[in-house]
Structure 1
Amino acid sequence: MLTGHTGAVFAVAFSPDGRWLASAGADSTVRLWRVSSTGRPAPTPAKVLTGHTDFVNCLAFSADSTTVVSGSDDLTLRLWNVPPGRPAAVLTARGGSVRAVAFAPDGHTLASSGNDGVIRMWDVVRARMTGSLGQHAGSVRGLAFSPDGRSLASSGNDRTVRLWDPLRRRLVATLTGHTRAVWSVTYAPDGRTIASAGNDGTVRLWDLAIPDRVAALCRVVGPVDRERWQRLLPGYDYTRTCAA
């Protein structure tokens, strides 16, 4: 058990190289714990990172484990060098509390979102926002890049999981089925399946071949409504990927 935070802990993340554990929470700090070769973190943090002025809600490491990003209710994202935990940059989101962050596998692209539902893209090297993808109809709670970095999944209070093309900056599919807010989303290592966790008490698994099939159906047979979906793709939750 690791102690030291003076309030609720909202986020934890291991670095991809397994050498660091980061934690963050209501005390406005990010704590870096050194992990031994046996996989056990040291009992005291190697560094307490300060600078945020409100709750820290989310964390993510870069693929090379040299940077950790934190998102906060203070409307900022902070990039920290690992080690030794020096602040590398402060990015201002402006659109409300930051609830979700994700690094792309390339290590220099970052996605963030939060209470305003807008998904923002950042260039970490230049420390600037490069644009936005679109938005949910409510707060975004989860973000995850696919292992190849060609897709970004988001989930939120609007009960949907959305798939985005981060290069073309467009919505690819909206996955529906959860009946309450969707708190988190993640890709399987092979990138072919997404798992989402909802406030409705369910974990849902999504076959990513389905949006491609539906998009093909839209091109061939036109709009696919719920009735037609059940005839063409029985057994799968309805996904509205073209005008119906």
Structure 2
Amino acid sequence: MQVHKIDTFAGHRDCVYTLDAGASPTEIFSAGADGMVVRWQLDKPDLGSLLARIPASVYALAFDPERKQLWVGQNYDGIHIIDPVQKQEIRSAQITSAAIFDIKIFDDLAWVALSDGVLAVMDVAEFVVKKHLKVSDKSARSIAINPLSREVAVGYSDNGIRIFDADLLMLKRVIPAHTNSVFTVQYSPDGRFLLSAGRDAHLKIWDVVDQYSLQQDIAAHLFAINHLCYSPDGALFATCSMDKSIKVWDAATFRLLKVIDRARHAGHGTSVNKLLWSSYHQQLISASDDRLLSVWEITR
């Protein structure tokens, strides 16, 4: 496996916390502690454009591909919808005074993970909260959706994962998953596995078909694992950590294939917070506390 650093996007003035893909394979969005919401073009790396300046940290972005609108989770001030083309806010809703850690859109519903433990489910078209799901007093940190089983997995700061029914909007299962906060959950593209990781630096693989039985427990990083994502073809997945590294894994065997760090690949100098694996030339984008986005080309 070969790793090449293609580019670095600079412009944020503080830690970058979140990324999402846009309407085309070359379009991505970023946001973070500086409140700046920025659009980038992977084929035109010098043309970053500021979409909005939010007066608070942003941990969560979600692009709605059907309506071509960007959902922004503004901490302590609810949800804001931005038209990326017009660069203007379309609507906003003060759904919470808590921090917003994650947003996922599925089947005309937006699932929003909040720091007060609430999972808010919003009707996208009506832009109203349809249901509040409160199953923990600790923060809801991360959301993953399995369109095959029609389940929603949510990782919490009480070390557990909850599985919800995407249609009935009800709790189905509680998994006592980790020894500390669960920062990231992700279903495999075929829907068979749920991967989870967090502050305990362990990567865990759960068999969805076998009632979420634990298949593997891997001591994957030195410090907290902040995020993980799959490659577009589903053959690989990557994890990123507070230990400043990105690791690339074989999705079939869960074997470590590559470590991307500062010493070997001129990687990030501080915590790597978020990953996005684009279908554009299979480029992997990473966001860090060092205020930078790095673009990686990974070939096998």
Structure 1 contact 105–148 (Cα < 8 Å) conserved: no
**Which residue of 253, 265, 272 corresponds with 1:210?**
253
User: Is 1:7 aligned to 2:56, yes or no?
Assistant: yes
User: Is 1:156 aligned to 2:205, yes or no?
Assistant: no
Q: 2:222: which partner in 1?
A: 179
Structure 2 unaligned spans of 5+: 1-49, 256-300
3-state SS of paired residue (1:80): strand
**Which residue of 51, 70, 80 corresponds with 2:122?**
80
CA distance in 1, matches of 2:95, 2:184: 24
Q: 2:96: which partner in 1?
A: 52
With the length of structure 2 as denominator, give the TM-score of the two structures: 0.63
3-state SS of paired residue (2:125): coil
CA distance in 2, matches of 1:12, 1:172: 31
Shift of residue 21 of structure 1? 1.3
Q: 1:29: which partner in 2?
A: 78
Which stretch shows the higher mean deviation, 195-204 or 77-86? 77-86
Amino acid at match of 1:71: A
Structure 1 unaligned spans of 5+: 35-39, 213-244
Structure with the largest fraction of strand: 2
Where does 1:106-185 land on structure 2 (aligned, <5 Å)? 106=148, 108-167=150-209, 168-185=211-228
3-state SS of paired residue (1:14): strand
Q: 1:228: which partner in 2?
A: none
CA distance in 2, matches of 1:52, 1:6: 16
Q: Deviations over 1:63-101 (max 9, x none)?
A: x4x121111112101111222312121111314111111
Structure of higher CA gyration radius? 1
With the length of structure 1 as denominator, give the TM-score of the two structures: 0.77
Structure 1 contact 4–44 (Cα < 8 Å) conserved: no
Structure 1 contact 67–81 (Cα < 8 Å) conserved: yes
Which stretch shows the higher mean deviation, 185-194 or 110-119? 185-194
**Distance change >3 Å, CA 28–CA 98, structure 1 → 2:** farther
RMSD, aligned α-carbons: 2.0
Q: 2:133: which partner in 1?
A: 91
Amino acid at match of 1:126: L
More RCO (CA 8 Å, sep 6+): 2
Shift of residue 107 of structure 1? 8.0
Amino acid at match of 1:20: Q
Amino acid at match of 1:30: I
CA distance in 2, matches of 1:133, 1:102: 14
Q: Deviations over 1:152-192 (max 9, x none)?
A: 11110001111112232211112223101000011122323
Structure with the largest fraction of helix: 1
Identity in percent:
23
Structure 1 contact 133–170 (Cα < 8 Å) conserved: no
**Distance change >3 Å, CA 161–CA 41, structure 1 → 2:** farther
Amino acid at match of 1:6: P
Shift of residue 151 of structure 1? 1.3
